[in-house]
């Protein structure tokens, strides 16, 4: 039996509620909730501090990336275009191990022209072969005592052995088959010199050579963060690129995202359990239930003090682990909406509706009491499993009480905002505050390129933030970013990010200089100046630009997201300087591939230039222009309108060119939205105002001009796609 407002039901459900410890009977028999944490017992809650149990031994420069040279003998792979090595495969190779071997064969052949043979273990190796490369867990690999016991799930090992018969063995493997593929890519990158700066052939760097030899080595490497995730990759070549950058395999990631929506599907719970859904103030009884219109409605949160909701979340988590025993985690991340229960949850946990630093009602105590209840309950049956959660919006700041040790909250913020020293200081303090309440945390970042109209290139901020998180060692276990790249504007930004996640101790300037040298060859200097200028306009805003940034930063996780205001950084002077670097680079470039790369970035730049000039003309000149006093002023205004019209027409031509590029098109599709959706602020009201002013003047002073102005007004919407 259930009555919506929980009134007059003590006699029916009091026993079960008292057993849970959540309620007491008030006057008139009304059931009242008490704080969820009072129902938690026999649970492992975190009781440490910021520096508790730090293990900082991760990364390529550490013990976990030993490069122990065993001999001065080099290992022959290819000699003058002739293969001197073969690949040895396990008898029952999985798809990942097979792909790892095939990728090794593919890149050795691209570099040297020689194709390595693939032989199943146990079969005879030709006499002329000097090196056997064991991929994955062959019997010989196991007999050698590999893999190293220090390897994490996604750790890799590359070890060479020189035997008594003057033969060489190389072992390439990971803790699991997926990480064996990571080991192959590490080998290809570290010892064959291949780079994948961007997805596809355009972004791949290879130095060809007829002879390939390797030093003796024992490389043991655990990634800087146990799980490394990014989203927003649309194409197959982008997803292949993420694998080459060794972002985490799906089975190893921690699930934390907006999952309450999926745990409590409205279509499943609305009729039998309306108590799941939040109440809003209003209606005859003082409160009215909010029932989502569809299962995809993200605006609401379940009633977290409701005993059934807590029990059901536990049941769903336990059922998940029972059905998927190899699963690492289960997510209880809050939905992407702010409709919390106003009848019980908010009055119990924040009756004054005090706000946190990002302007949301602070409900961290509620959210993480709920999460901890689920975590504590699951912990008893599945002690090694992780419950992922979101420190987001109303749950942005750490709760007052420690949380269960199996809860891993992901801390959401856009660290590009660290360009502001005050914001950076507060965000770093927030991370430390969370580490006082949670044994482990994850980082949730917003590396967006798409949805911004101009480049958002800040590699040194990425480096600073990743190194800051890595300084807490194993306590910062995961990293996730909404990447949604715009490759043509942001260039190597995501390459730098993925390399630092793999090895936080890497030198960002070495990574960048290598990119300029390898990717642009003779044109490296002007292209370095180009990208350094892009970084500078983000990091060194003028006081006026910084003021606009600060206004947006107060109300959002990421300033200028989907509102187009970043075009204020692309001033005519900046555009002219950037154009100069691109022109010089084109003049210097000799290699056809390098020319294509420069043209790729120039195409994206031209689109950003175009929309910035249009926007700035609309907002600066047209928004303030007054009615012409004479024919000379009217002519000047007409020329500006014609210029705006021509640039708008050019924008459509630019988009047509971009539309044919598989790497650019998905990203610039976002630009269409700015032209069609009023909320993005690109309705060009200044231009329309200027047209109206000039038409009014022309009707009296130059009637023949009116027809031209009508054409500009009529055709413009099509050009502003």
Confidence of residue 136 (pLDDT cuts 50, 70, 90): very high
Q: For the residues 195-211, what does the mean pLDDT come to?
A: 97
Q: Is the per-residue pLDDT at 683 higher than 70?
A: no
For the ranges 244-253, 261-270, 674-683, the lowest mean pLDDT is seen at 674-683
pLDDT at 7: 35
Distance between CA atoms of residues 514 and 508, nearest Å: 10
Neighbours of 153 (CB within 10 A): 18
Distant-in-sequence, close-in-space partners of 539: CB < 8 Å, separation ≥ 6 = 419, 458, 460, 461
- pLDDT for 455-480, tens place per residue? 999 999 999 999 999 999 999 999 99
Q: Are 484 and 448 in contact (CB under 8 A)?
A: yes
Q: Which residue has 């509706």 as its token pair? A: 353
Q: How far apart are CA 106 and CA 246, in angstroms?
A: 18
What is the arithmetic mean of pLDDT over 599-604? 95
| pLDDT tier at 24, thresholds 50, 70, 90 | very low
| pLDDT tens digits along 291-315 | 999 999 999 999 999 999 999 999 9
pLDDT at 260 over 90: yes
| Mean pLDDT (whole number) for 4-12 | 34
pLDDT for the residue 668: 64
Under 8 Å CB-to-CB from 616, ≥6 apart: which residues? 567, 568, 570, 571, 572
pLDDT band at 23 (very low <50, low <70, confident <90, very high): very low
pTM: 0.91
pLDDT at 440 over 50: yes
- Give the start-end residues of each E strand in 246-405: 279-281, 287-289, 329-331, 386-391
26 pLDDT higher than 50? no
pLDDT digits (tens, 9 = 90+) for 638-670: 999 999 888 888 877 887 778 888 888 766 665
- State the residue for tokens 């590029």: 661
List the Cα angle 334/38/386 in 5-degree steps: 45
Q: Among 8-17, 598-607, 671-680, whose mean pLDDT is lowest? A: 8-17
Q: Can you tell me the mean pLDDT for 220-243?
A: 95
Give whole-number Cα distances, 720 to 422, 664, 669, 671, 713, in Å.
38, 18, 13, 9, 12
pLDDT digits (tens, 9 = 90+) for 359-405: 999 999 999 999 999 999 999 999 999 999 999 999 999 999 999 99
Chain mean pLDDT for the chain:
88
Give the separation between CA 296 and CA 147, rounded to whole angstroms. Answer: 45
Lowest mean pLDDT among 75-79, 540-544, 574-578, 663-667: 663-667
Please determine, for residue 1, whether its predicted confidence score (pLDDT) is greater than 80. no
DSSP 8-state assignment for residue 88:
E
Give yes or no for a contact between 139 and 165, defined as CB atoms under 8 angstroms apart: no
At residue 706, the 3 state secondary structure works out as: helix
* pLDDT for the residue numbered 550: 87
10-20 and 307-323 helices, crossing angle to 10°: 50
pLDDT at 471: 97
Find all residues with CB under 8 Å of 339, minimum gap 6, and list them. 278, 280, 290, 299, 300, 301
Per the model's pLDDT, the better-predicted residue between 48 and 226 turns out to be 226
Compute the distance between CA of residue 382 and CA of residue 317 in angstroms, rounded to an integer: 10
The pLDDT of residue 197 is above 80 = yes
Average pLDDT value for residue range 710-714: 85
Percentage of the chain lying above the pLDDT 90 cut: 73
Q: What is the pLDDT of residue 51?
A: 63
End-to-end CA, the chain: 56
Structure tokens at 159: 């070890």
Quick check: bond before 147 cis, omega within 30?
A: yes
Asked if 519 contacts 593 with a C-beta cutoff of 8 angstroms, the reply is no
CA distance 586 to 598: 7
422 C-beta neighbours (distance < 10 Å), count: 10
pLDDT digits (tens, 9 = 90+) for 149-196: 999 999 999 999 987 677 999 999 999 999 999 999 999 999 999 999
């Amino acid at each position: 039996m259930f009555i919506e407002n929980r009134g007059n039901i003590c006699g029916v459900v009091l026993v079960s509620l008292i057993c849970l410890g959540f309620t007491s009977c008030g006057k008139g028999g009304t059931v009242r909730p008490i704080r969820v944490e009072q129902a938690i017992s026999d649970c492992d809650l975190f009781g440490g501090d910021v520096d508790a149990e730090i293990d900082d031994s991760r990364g390529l420069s550490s013990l976990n990336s030993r490069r122990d040279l065993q001999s001065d003998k080099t290992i022959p792979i290819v000699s003058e275009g002739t293969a001197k090595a073969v690949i040895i495969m396990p008898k029952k190779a999985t798809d990942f191990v097979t792909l790892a071997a095939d990728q090794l064969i593919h890149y050795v052949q691209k570099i040297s022209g020689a194709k390595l043979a693939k032989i199943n273990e146990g079969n005879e190796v030709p006499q002329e072969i000097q090196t056997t490369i064991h991929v994955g867990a062959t019997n010989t690999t196991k007999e050698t005592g590999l893999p190293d016991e220090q390897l994490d799930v996604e750790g890799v090992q590359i070890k060479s052995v020189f035997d008594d018969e003057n033969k060489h063995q190389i072992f390439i493997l990971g803790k699991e088959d997926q990480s064996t593929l990571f080991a192959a890519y590490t080998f290809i990158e570290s010892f064959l010199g291949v780079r994948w700066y961007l997805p596809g052939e355009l972004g791949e760097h290879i130095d060809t050579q007829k002879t390939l030899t390797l030093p003796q080595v024992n490389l043991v490497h655990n990634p800087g963060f146990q799980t490394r995730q990014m989203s927003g990759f649309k194409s197959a070549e982008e997803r292949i690129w993420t694998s080459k950058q060794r972002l985490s395999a799906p089975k190893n990631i921690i699930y934390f995202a907006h999952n309450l929506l999926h745990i409590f599907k409205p279509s499943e719970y609305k009729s039998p359990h309306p108590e799941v859904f939040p109440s809003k103030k209003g209606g005859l009884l003082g409160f009215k239930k909010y029932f989502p219109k569809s299962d995809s409605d993200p605006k609401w949160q379940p009633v977290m003090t409701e005993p059934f909701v807590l029990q059901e979340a536990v049941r769903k988590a336990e059922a998940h682990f029972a059905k998927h025993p190899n699963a690492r985690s289960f997510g209880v991340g809050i939905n992407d909406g702010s409709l919390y229960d106003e009848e019980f949850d908010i009055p119990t946990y924040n009756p004054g509706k005090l706000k946190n630093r990002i302007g949301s009602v602070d409900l961290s105590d509620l959210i993480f009491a709920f999460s901890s209840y689920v975590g504590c309950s699951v912990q008893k049956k599945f002690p090694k499993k992780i419950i992922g959660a979101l420190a987001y919006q109303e749950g942005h700041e750490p709760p007052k009480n420690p949380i269960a040790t199996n809860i891993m909250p992901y801390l959401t913020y856009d660290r590009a905002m660290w360009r502001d020293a005050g914001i950076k200081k507060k965000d770093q303090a927030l991370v430390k505050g969370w580490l006082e309440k949670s044994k482990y945390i994850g980082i949730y970042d917003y590396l967006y390129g798409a949805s911004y109209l101009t480049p958002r290139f800040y590699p040194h901020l990425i480096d600073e933030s990743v190194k800051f998180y890595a300084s807490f060692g194993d306590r910062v276990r995961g990293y996730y970013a909404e990447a949604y790249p715009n490759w043509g504007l942001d260039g190597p930004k995501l390459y730098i990010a993925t390399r630092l996640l793999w090895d936080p101790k890497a030198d960002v300037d070495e990574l960048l200089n290598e990119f300029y040298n390898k990717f642009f060859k003779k044109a490296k200097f002007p292209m370095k100046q180009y990208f350094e200028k892009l970084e500078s306009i983000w990091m060194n805003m003028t006081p006026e630009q910084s003021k606009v940034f600060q206004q947006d930063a107060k109300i959002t996780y990421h300033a200028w997201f989907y509102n187009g205001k970043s075009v204020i950084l692309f001033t005519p002077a900046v555009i002219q300087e950037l154009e100069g670097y691109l022109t010089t680079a084109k003049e210097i470039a000799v290699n056809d591939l390098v020319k294509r790369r420069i043209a790729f970035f120039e195409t994206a730049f031209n689109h950003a230039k175009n929309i910035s000039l249009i926007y700035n003309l609309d907002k600066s000149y047209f928004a303030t222009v007054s009615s012409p006093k004479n024919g000379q002023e009217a002519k000047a205004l007409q020329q500006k309108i014609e210029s705006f019209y021509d640039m708008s027409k050019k924008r459509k031509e630019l988009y047509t060119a971009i539309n044919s590029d598989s790497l650019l098109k998905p990203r610039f599709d976002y630009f269409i939205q700015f032209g069609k959706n009023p909320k993005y602020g690109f309705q060009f009201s200044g231009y329309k105002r200027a047209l109206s002013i000039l038409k009014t003047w022309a009707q009296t002073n130059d009637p023949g001009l009116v027809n031209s102005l009508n054409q500009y007004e009529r055709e413009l919407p099509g050009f502003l796609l």
